[in-house]
A = this chain, B = another copy of it.
């Protein structure tokens, strides 16, 4: 304990930590050999003082090594992993995984449960009856061999230090720290062990990174850690100034994904999924133009949709879309005036969806698959007074409709002049690596 107090003091004073200090910190989190107050003090010192690239790398590797490493890249050298830093209405993973697998490239995905205003992929998959993510290496291999995709849930055995620190960060106001975010993401990726990685770094009012500069910094830090660990990586900074897709909610996002997989669906959701899937195919050696063509073909000819069905089967689930939960009641949110939609607060809509039941307000909550928000108006659209901007989709909870309607309406800014939404893909990193 005496030595760890000295390590905390070092970071408190803005000095560089020794590798042994960082390993003691991670071991302390993983096996409980340090009390929570010492972990919290170190987290806050790192949050305020930052960490060097070398410290971040040591932290990532120590967190990776705090549990079991699946090393799936050794068995599936082509397999790709994808990560998003957390958006609203972002159902990309549900389309990306079967689509890329349908092109012959396995997809290894460590999916998280949502906390805060974003919904987690694992919660959305939970809307599919019987769906069970892989909990260990054997189950991941079974799923990959069966359908080319494995969704895995973070278990006790993968980076247990991250699990502990993630919960502590939430209660100690140490979530917004670049090195801690990088370590949390990359330790799990490296433990699962895919050798190829596509990163979707969200940027805008609905994301952790509010500015392009912050998003580029995070993307750069993630890419740097991946490269040092000899992972082929592409990072894309994408717009999160408004919800990505037309739905927020577990069952409704599965439906939005199925619409794209069947060749139609929302154009923004489709555009971003194809862009990220193209990065994955390029990592697997395809050329850019060929990759795009193949992806469009797989969406058009039904092979992507068929792969989704195979993927759900391989995970023990029932792929029948008719079995997905439906809202018990739908309440439209009309525009109070006419005009052009100039901004949509994605974070506010995310919180409304959570209140309706689509997410977790605390660790113990179980999301309600039926609940959510459907978004009808997008930035740049012209709406008339009284036209529906969004629909509140109620699940099992009895809630104050008026307050939620007012909050939802207030998330839409209407102006006199038309505006153009920024491009979905704002910046790419890693293509020339």
Contact = CB atoms under 8 A, between A and B. Distances in A.
Interface of A: 1, 5-6, 8-9, 12, 35-41, 43-45, 47-49, 168, 170-174
Contacts of A47: 12
Contacts of A49: 48
A173 B6 contact: yes
A299 to B, nearest CB: 42
Contact of A40 (B9, B41, B48, B170): B41
Contacts of A38: 40, 171-172
A29 to B, nearest CB: 11
Given A36-B35, A47-B12, A48-B49, A5 B41 contact: no
Contact of A172 (B8, B170, B173, B174): B8
The copy count of this chain in the complex is 2
Please classify the interface of chain A as helix (H, G, I), strand (E, B), loop, or mixed, using the class held by over half of its residues: helix
A2 B245 CA distance: 29
9 contacts: A5-B170, A6-B173, A12-B48, A12-B174, A37-B172, A40-B41, A40-B44, A41-B173, A45-B48
A351 to B, nearest CB: 12
B173 A12 contact: yes
Nearest to A172: B41
A1 B8 CA distance: 25
Contacts of A44: 8, 12, 40-41, 44-45, 48
A37 to B, nearest CB: 4
A260 to B, nearest CB: 36
Contacts of A48: 12, 44-45, 48-49
A257 to B, nearest CB: 32
Contacts of A35: 36, 171
A411 B198 CA distance: 59
Nearest to A34: B171
Contacts of A170: 5
